[in-house]
Structure 1
Amino acid sequence: MTTAEARRPPLYHRLAVSPGAALLVLIDVFTLGFVTLGFEMVASRILTPLFGSGIYTWATIISIVVGGLMAGYFLGGIIADRFPGFGLAAVIKFLACGYLFFVYAMAQGGLERSIVGIDSEFSALFVSGFVVCFPPLVVLGMYSPLSVRLLLREPRDAGKISGGLFALSSFGNILGIIVTTFVFIPTMGTRDITYYFATFLLASGFVSLSTRAMMLARRSIA
């Protein structure tokens, strides 16, 4: 370690936002990771009564989830560079919230009616999986690059910050799968879980808006 590196302040003093705002980003990364793969398990429960729980159903769900996240990471990186802020975080949460409420409504029979005219079972499976999974996963995936953009001030910290955030998100993914599968689904059912996930995103979006307002107020005072 060089003398200059030894004199550098701790990482939490080198972030682009205040400690309180940074803590919100960390909480968001974890909770949105939880919701992301928790919802994947909910989606499987929505689709398996229609198409069974075989390998084709799971292959469709997993590929659409990964494809949605891939698109979200890419789009989120572009948009985060143009609009880096907690306002964008709130928009991401509100959009995901709105679509989960749509899935909540569709899960009460609307999904079955939407695929009645599709003759091929594989086509019906893909369309159903796409409608249920792809849009919300694209939106939720956009938060990952935004979280790095919100915290990063010095380029040399990019590895530490991005690695730590992705690890925290993955931890949320793991808990989302386990808790949703072993606790939520047996006790609440898929529609209720979808409703609560959407409600959480709505509340979290307002927290992001409040954080943005406080940061703007501090800047105006300064």
Structure 2
Amino acid sequence: MKAQEASTLIPLWLLILLQVGISASSLIVEIVAGRMIAPYVGMSLYTWTAIIAVVLAGFSVGHWWGGRIASLPTELALRKTGWTMIAAACTTAGATLLLRTFAGPVVEGMNHPLAAITTLSALAFFLPSLFAGVPAPILTVAAMRNSNRSEQALGAMFAAGAIGAIAGTLFAGFVFVPWIGSVMTLLVITVVYAIAALICFWLGKVPSRGYVTSISGVGLAFAIGFWALSLPSVCDRESSYYCIRTVALSENSEDPVNLMVVDHLAHGISARDAPRVMFTEHAAMLDALPRMRMGRTDFTSFHIGGGTYSVPRAWADRGIKDITISEIDPEVTEIAVGNFWFDPATATILHRDARVALRRSAQQFDVIVGDAFTDIAAPEHLVTLEFFELVASRLSADGIFAMNLIDNVDRLDALAAVVVTLRDVFPSVEVWTAEGPPQPGERRVFVLLASASDSAVSTIETRTPDLTRFQVLANAFINSILRQKNAQILTDDHAPLAYLMGFDPAVD
């Protein structure tokens, strides 16, 4: 009876506010988890699957624990909730430190990348989710005890949790990560959890001595958070899409060569004084093959993905004009201009998804270049039948579509699926790769040329930066792979490209 009488002093609106704030914070942490893990293992379907599973597991254990605490008298239950909020603040603040400490050993020590992704997710974000899951049943029971209409109070608390989750998701993606970055966002959530803890202690009428201890707990959480904030950032620039770093590869400051790393992948390399030299096989083929097919410099082009803008920069240096580039992340463009010597005046740049940009464009292009294929984070909406039909509709009569693709030579399931899908749209589909036999287990770089007719040559030579010969694979060989794999056409409804590529880590 005393517990129930005490609970009548708690305004329902305050319990609802606590529920909204804690629920929103827990979802913000979940979204931030994906951003923070990406520099170590990339961002893919598998990354999000692991994160969501770990966070839901934490919530589940927390709700179960909270249900047991909720059976206690209200004031005692609220005091215990305050301590779980202190624990949530400390573990949230410490997630950055755990990632920095264990990411290297976990990724290097585990052969299977999915195991590494799941382990990292659990190490950094299981405990924050567990402690954040405890208050919901306790606050809900307190609200029901506080109300003459317990059913309505129950509905209000469930609605508050859902509203908080929605708000947290929106604020994480549209406000916190783009404006202040992941580590600072976790510090903000640490503050929210600390405030929630103090409110719970106040509602639970904690003794004065308990307040001293609780303030010490809050201080520990802040100390951990500011320690994490003081560490050097993993990213040079953390955008709404990527963690971006620039790495200097040349020891000669008079002849700089830079590498762009997007999340955990080497994305492209450029030299200041050699704009026409490509440093990766896929960039070399995407540069040379379309020029070989066009045989002139007065052609129009549309580029899917900017990255270091190496190919558009090389083409502009050769006098090729009317270049359009669709790069979804404006921060990538800024870095390409500042650190990779790309002149934005030489091209039209569209900061939107390439598929959206092509659909909105009425222009016909002589060349469309697809340079968005990376690792297990392959853009599935850019390799489907519907997208290839859109590409074909934007090509001139003698135009060509060139796209890069990475696949394991022991599998080639992804290559087979993309080829058979392209063949459903284009009369000619060629597969180009570096000359020479593949090595067992090799992640091979291919470039696919799709057009109305075959190329006039079967080999080309270009610098990568050393002179390298590339060849087109014989149709008979490609056909044998298609028969062996029984490849199915990829569609918007079903394009399991990441599964077809396998789970081996790769560098683009």
**What's the TM-score bracket when you normalise by the shorter of the two chains?**
0.7 to 0.9
Q: Distance in 1 between matches of 2:145 and 2:94?
A: 38
* CA distance in 1 between partners of 2:153 and 2:207 (Å): 21
Q: Which moved more, 1:85-94 or 1:31-40?
A: 85-94
Residues 15 and 153 in structure 1, CA contact (< 8 A), matched pair in contact too: no
- Spell out the pairing of 1:12-161 with structure 2 (5 A cutoff): 16-20=7-11, 22-82=12-72, 84-85=74-75, 86-107=78-99, 109-115=100-106, 116-153=108-145, 157-161=149-153
In the TM superposition, what is the alpha-carbon distance from 1:155 to its structure 2 partner?
9.4
Other structure's SS at 2:14 match: helix
Match of 1:197 in 2: 189
Q: Which amino acid aligns with 1:17?
A: T
- The AA in structure 1 aligned to 2:81 is A
Query: CA separation in 2, counterparts of 1:187 and 1:146?
Result: 33
Q: Secondary structure of the residue that 1:93 maps to in structure 2?
A: helix
Deviation per residue, 1:35-76 (Å, 9 max, x gap): 010110110111122222211111111111222112211121
CA contact (8 A) 1:38 1:176 kept: yes
TM-score, with structure 1 as normaliser: 0.81
Structure 1 window deviating more from structure 2 (175-184 vs 195-204): it is: 195-204
* Structure ranking higher in helix proportion: 1
% of aligned pairs identical? Answer: 19
**Distance in 1 separating the partners of 2:161 and 2:170:** 14
Higher strand share: 2
Q: CA deviation at 1:83?
A: 5.3
Compute the displacement of 1:190 (Å): 0.5
Once residues 81 and 19 of structure 1 are traced to their aligned partners in structure 2, the CA distance between those partners, rounded to angstroms, is 17
Displacement after TM superposition at 1:137 (Å): 1.1
Q: CA deviation at 1:153?
A: 2.5
Unaligned residue ranges in structure 1 (runs of 5+): 1-13, 217-222
Which residue number in structure 1 is paired with residue 158 of structure 2? 166
Change (3 A) 1:156 1:199: closer
Comparing 45-54 with 204-213, greater Cα deviation is found at 204-213
Native 8 Å contact 2:16 2:156 kept in 1:
no
Name 1:208's counterpart in structure 2: 200
User: What amino acid sits opposite 2:104 in the alignment?
Assistant: R
Amino acid corresponding to residue 54 of structure 2 in structure 1:
I
Q: Contact between 2:66 and 2:138, CA under 8 Å: does it hold in 1? A: yes
SS of residue in 1 equivalent to 2:94: helix
Normalising to structure 2: TM-score of the pair?
A: 0.37
Q: Specify the code of the residue in structure 2 equivalent to 1:178.
A: L
* Offset, 1:17: 2.4
Segment drifting more, 51-60 vs 78-87: 78-87
**RMSD, aligned α-carbons:** 2.4
1:77 Cα deviation from its structure 2 partner: 0.5
**Do structure 1's residue 175 and structure 2's residue 167 form an aligned pair?**
yes
Contact 1:44 1:58 in 2 (8 A): yes
Between the aligned partners of 2:20 and 2:207, the Cα distance in structure 1 is: 22
Query: Computing the radius of gyration over CA atoms, which structure comes out larger, 1 or 2?
Result: 2
Give yes or no for contact 1:15–1:151 (8 Å, CA) kept in 2.
no
Alpha-carbon distance in structure 2 between the residues aligned to 1:27 and 1:155: 16
Does the CA-based 8 Å contact 2:34-2:51 persist in structure 1? yes
Separation (CA, whole Å) in 1 of partners of 2:176 and 2:144: 35
Structure 2 stretches of 5 or more lacking a match? 209-508
Structure number with greater CO (CA < 8 Å, separation at least 6) is: 1
**Are 1:92 and 1:142, in contact at CA under 8 Å, matched by a contact in 2?**
yes
CA 174–56 in structure 1, closer or farther in 2 if over 3 Å, else same = same
